[in-house]
Chain A
Amino acid sequence: MNPTGTEVAAAAGGRTPREFNVWRIREDFPVLRQTVHGKPLVYLDNAATTQKPRAVIAALEHFYTADCSNVHRGVHLLSERATAAYEEARRKVQRFLNAASEREVIFVRGTTEAINLVAHSFGRPRLGPGDEVLLTHMEHHSNIVPWQLLCQETGARLRVAPIDDRGELIFEEFERLLGPRTRIVAVAHVSNALGTVNPVRRIIEAAHARGLPVLVDGAQAAAHIRLDVQALDCDFYAFSGHKLYGPNGIGVLYGKAAWLEQMPPYQSGGDMIRTVTFEKTTFNELPWKFEAGTPNIAGAIGLGAALDYLDGVGLENAATWEQELLAYATRRIASVPGVRLIGTAREKAAVLSFVLEGVHPHDVATILDRQGVAVRAGHVCAQPVMERFGVPAITRASFAFYNTPEEVDALIAALHKVREIFR
């Protein structure tokens, strides 16, 4: 018989709440029940995308088998149901973020589109030659490139707050870079490469003290940290559904209504308008002003189902379990000769990035894969982080609440195999 989550947690030296039963939770994720290359799948690539619980898959299926229709248009019953479900999903996101209003929740394709939207509609009118956009050295490419392109276009320049050898933001340097020409601050809540949790509240306080707006890239945070955008007081918060147990192709931009109202539309077309004549178009209200064209209706509904599911598990329970897995994995990996951890911040999400001396991460990942262990290898869309740590690439194991200490053991055993092959 399988041990219970509580017993496993106890074995791992943890203090997971009694009600958290990882074996029962795993039952909710059909994809986990398979073998790859003849070995049980050990899925440790959750920072890339998370697997989907049955509830999410069922919500998608229900939409397509019962309610499939366009939103905000038809007078027929299916359209009414689709619209109701789509807007209900928006309210679920509002509650998840504790946003002041559902008008502040814009459905987008994902974090990348959310950041592009802000760069385009909020950044462009505010930037001119000599102005500055302030980022950190640990940003994902999706929170670098949109700003870089905008800077090229406007004559503004990127400033980058440095990080230390643990992978933590050097806060004093960040503060020093908040200068008279800074116009926008854009920071990751959690680093996808290092796992570092940034002190976003302090960052926002420091920026606001100088009257500067802050965008938070929450792609890696939303599944692990309880969010409250009002308490955080961020101006924009972006995240992706697929890293939050929801479907691909749906994400959210939260923005303060006061900003969103001032901003011009990002894309234009149907649904985002109020009136159209060949002389002039007036725009729809928030949030639809920013949702041109038929949105990803099923995706939004699926995301809503994912948030409900996460509510059932309890984000805090999930986070506690993940932290135990991270602590256990961090201890165990020290037994593998030649391991160097990349990212040892004091506060981390459940991301374990490392290099193995003398073995390229792609070879590590191939050998792990043949033993059923799925990890990410490469520059993980954070080439500046690679450069900062002087490595061409890393291997990254990232955990979700459905992972188990036994899976950590499988990872460690597989790494010993790598060592055997590259003796």
Chain B
Amino acid sequence: MEELRNLYQEVIVDHSRRPRNFRAIADPSATAEGYNPLCGDKVTLYLKLDGDVIRDVAFQGSGCAISTASASLLTETLKGKTTREAQALFDSFHKLVTASGPAGKELGKLAVLAGVREYPMRVKCATLAWHTLRAALKGERRPVSTE
């Protein structure tokens, strides 16, 4: 039970139940779709940029608690960040959930997803929104897939 709580922390359960910024942005500067064909999780990410700064970020989609909470936390974290900072966060987050590095301070709330590293089958759930972010920043048109 204790172990499972490391994965399903209250914050994660809360964000999966009531995802933040769960909406479309009418006139996004960038958008991308992500898809995990293994489990069917889908996410669409919308970004509103002001120059290099992310003014607004939102998402829609369906998925498990981990992927939904991860997307929700991503939107909370990215608001006000520059695209360069967002890219750096992608790298730190990836290290966080694959256990290839310690949780950096810059991750803030995202650190609650560290428990995922004990569940290799679920890492893709946590990173789906982040891969989608990267695709949106690169302006990719085709949906990104975790496979």
On A, residues with C-beta under 8 Å from B are 37, 358-363, 366-367, 370, 377-379, 383, 386, 392-393, 417, 420-422
Contacts and interface: CB of A to CB of B under 8 A. Distances in A.
Given A378-B38, A378-B40, A421-B13, A392 B62 contact: yes
Contact of B63 (A360, A379, A383, A417): A360
25 contacts: A37-B3, A358-B17, A359-B65, A360-B16, A361-B64, A362-B39, A362-B122, A362-B125, A366-B119, A367-B4, A370-B3, A377-B39, A378-B38, A378-B39, A378-B40, A383-B40, A386-B40, A392-B40, A392-B62, A393-B40, A421-B4, A421-B5, A421-B13, A422-B8, A422-B13
Given A370-B3, A421-B13, A422-B13, A363 B8 contact: yes
B62 to A, nearest CB: 6
A49 B1 CA distance: 28
B77 to A, nearest CB: 22
B129 interface: no
What 8 pairs across the A-B complex have the smallest Cβ distances?
A360-B64, A362-B64, A363-B65, A421-B8, A363-B64, A392-B40, A370-B4, A362-B39
Contact of A363 (B38, B62, B66): B66
Interface of B: 1, 3-5, 7-8, 13, 16-17, 38-40, 62-66, 68, 119, 121-122, 125
Contacts, number: 47
A386 B40 CA distance: 11
Given A378-B38, A422-B13, A366 B63 contact: no
A366 B7 contact: yes
A358 B17 CA distance: 8
Contact of B39 (A393, A417, A421, A422): A393
Nearest to A420: B1
A367 B62 contact: no
B83 to A, nearest CB: 31
A367 B8 contact: yes
Nearest to A370: B4
Given A359-B65, A360-B16, 11 more contacts: A37-B3, A362-B39, A362-B64, A363-B64, A363-B65, A377-B39, A378-B39, A393-B40, A417-B1, A421-B8, A422-B65
A366 to B, nearest CB: 6
Contacts of B63: 360
A393 B40 CA distance: 8
Contacts of A417: 1, 4
Contacts of A366: 7, 119, 121-122
Contacts of B38: 378
A150 B40 CA distance: 26
A360 B1 contact: no
A375 to B, nearest CB: 13
B40 A379 contact: yes
Contacts of B8: 363, 367, 421-422
Nearest to A358: B17
Contacts of B40: 378-379, 383, 386, 392-393
A252 to B, nearest CB: 29
A306 B7 CA distance: 40
B14 to A, nearest CB: 11
A153 B79 CA distance: 49
Contacts of B3: 37, 370
A367 B7 CA distance: 10
A358 B62 CA distance: 12
B15 to A, nearest CB: 13
A422 B38 CA distance: 23
Contacts of A383: 40
A386 B39 CA distance: 12
A362 B38 CA distance: 11
A358 to B, nearest CB: 7
Contacts of A370: 3-4
A383 B42 CA distance: 14
Nearest to B38: A378
> Which of B40, B66, B122, B125 is packed against the most chain A CB atoms within 10 Å?
B40
A367 B3 CA distance: 10
A422 B13 CA distance: 7
Nearest to B1: A417
Contacts of A362: 39, 64, 66, 122, 125
